[in-house]
């Protein structure tokens, strides 16, 4: 199934792959987001299915490695001459990956195709390492699609219960009945991706389906999956909290201009990453991004000599191992192509000012700080109280001691008198 985009007139057209030459006078900076290559299922339908996937769960397959290598070669044909010799200067590129094996390996395979070395690292090994950067998932609000965000999670729950979602389920009720009957479980709206994912992975890797699953049922299941998945970024809240973080980072990098010699910045990520970015840009689509496809955002000098405002050109290579690429125009811009500052102005409403605060997350450090201050105050008060009590106790003892001394003097005098009388 072809990944179709839905646009108003003049918002998209097919374009040939532009092979930028060395010292291209217009191209200034490029940011690319690609989806990892073919992988094994993210979750199994049955524990026994693990025998089908010796690589493990959610791992890049050999086919996925090859897909990314070919995508790297395609990117090489487009940008390598413009970027120049990496062996002399690695500061020209920066590759960031989400913290998954499949995206990290995809980045490595992509770079192997993108930048084939002049000389290998050893005999018969024509490969040179390219740095790949990442961060822990719980900190990666740009690339980790399931990062904790209570407000976004609640918004998505509302989407699952919305009339639109219920109407979609009703439309595919026949297929859901077949799936539930044969899987022996109640497949809800949150389970649809898991069911589709397993059969999709089996199809891509030529693993035989059970007899009840056929092309007709799968085609409907695929349609259901894509229709439901569209709901994940349909509201303004979800776009701001799930897609706005990455778009904000990308646009900020464009506006600040690349530091030093940096020319090419890439993200090795997921279908959800590209889908969230497209949705936030206002670009509607019918199917989620496929394996080893990519979105390219290019900053060019303005063709108008009277203006010093760079322009944004967006290209989408939306089919695995296809040479076709589409240029996308940002809806609502009113300019073709759109100036960077104009895109920034249009998209600013999706840029969280304080993402954690908007997500309803209490900063851990702040919690620790408040708790520490409370403990310090409590300890200080307790210590002061004990010190005062100790002083009062000491003062009381001293008074008691003085009284005892005063009472003791007459007693001695009486004893002395008695002694005198006896003499």
The H or E element containing residue 81 is: helix 62-83
- Alpha-carbon distance 83 to 173, whole Å? 52
Active centre residues (catalytic): 36, 271
Block residue for tokens 């959610």:
58
Residue 220: exposure state from Cβ atoms within 10 A (0-12, 13-18, ≥19): middle
**CA distances, 418 to each of 86, 166, 392, 410, 412 (Å):** 114, 111, 40, 12, 10
* End-to-end CA, the chain: 132
Would you tell me the crossing angle of helices 215-229 and 173-183 to the nearest 10 degrees? 110
- Sequence-ordered alpha helix ranges (H) in 239-288: 244-256, 271-280
19 backbone φψ class: left, alpha, beta (φ>0; ψ -120 to 50): beta
- Alpha-carbon distance 331 to 241, whole Å? 20
Per-residue tokens: 118 = 């002049």
Contact 103, 33 (CB under 8 A): no
């Amino acid at each position: 199934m072809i990944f179709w985009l839905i646009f108003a007139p003049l918002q998209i057209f097919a374009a040939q792959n532009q092979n930028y030459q060395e010292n291209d006078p217009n191209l200034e900076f490029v940011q690319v987001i690609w989806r990892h290559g073919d992988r094994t299922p993210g979750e199994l339908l049955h524990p026994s299915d693990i025998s089908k996937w010796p690589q493990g769960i959610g791992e890049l397959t050999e086919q996925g490695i090859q897909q990314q290598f070919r995508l790297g070669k395609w990117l090489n044909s487009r940008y390598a001459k413009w970027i120049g010799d990496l062996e002399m200067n690695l500061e020209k590129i920066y590759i960031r990956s989400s913290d998954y094996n499949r995206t990290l390996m995809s980045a490595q395979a992509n770079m192997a195709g993108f930048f084939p070395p002049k000389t290998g690292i050893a005999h018969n090994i024509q490969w040179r390492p390219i740095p790949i950067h990442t961060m822990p998932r719980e900190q990666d609000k740009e690339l980790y699609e399931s990062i904790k965000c209570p407000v976004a999670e609640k918004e998505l729950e509302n989407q699952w219960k919305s009339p639109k979602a219920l109407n979609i389920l009703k439309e595919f009720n026949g297929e859901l009945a077949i799936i539930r009957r044969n899987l022996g479980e109640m497949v809800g709206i949150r389970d649809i991706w898991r069911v589709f994912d397993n059969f999709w992975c089996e199809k891509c890797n030529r693993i035989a389906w059970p007899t009840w699953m056929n092309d007709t049922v799968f085609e409907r299941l695929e349609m259901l999956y894509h229709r439901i998945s569209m709901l994940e970024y349909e509201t303004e809240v979800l776009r701001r909290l799930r897609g706005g973080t990455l778009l904000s980072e990308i646009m900020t990098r464009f506006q600040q201009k690349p530091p030093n010699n940096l020319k090419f910045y890439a993200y090795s990520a997921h279908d959800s990453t590209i889908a969230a970015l497209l949705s936030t840009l206002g670009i509607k689509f019918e199917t989620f991004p496929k394996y080893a496809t990519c979105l390219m955002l290019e900053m060019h000098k303005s063709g108008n000599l009277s203006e010093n405002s760079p322009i944004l050109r967006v290209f989408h290579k939306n089919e695995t191992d296809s040479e076709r690429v589409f240029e996308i125009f940002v809806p609502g811009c009113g300019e073709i192509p759109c100036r960077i500052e104009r895109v920034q102005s249009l998209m600013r409403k999706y840029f969280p000012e304080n993402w954690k605060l908007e997500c309803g997350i209490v900063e851990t450090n702040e919690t620790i700080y408040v708790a520490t201050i409370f403990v310090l105050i409590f300890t200080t008060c307790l210590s002061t109280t004990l010190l005062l009590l100790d002083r009062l106790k000491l003062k009381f003892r001293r008074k008691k001691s003085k009284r005892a001394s005063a009472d003791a003097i007459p007693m001695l005098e009486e004893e002395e008198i008695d002694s005198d009388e006896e003499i």
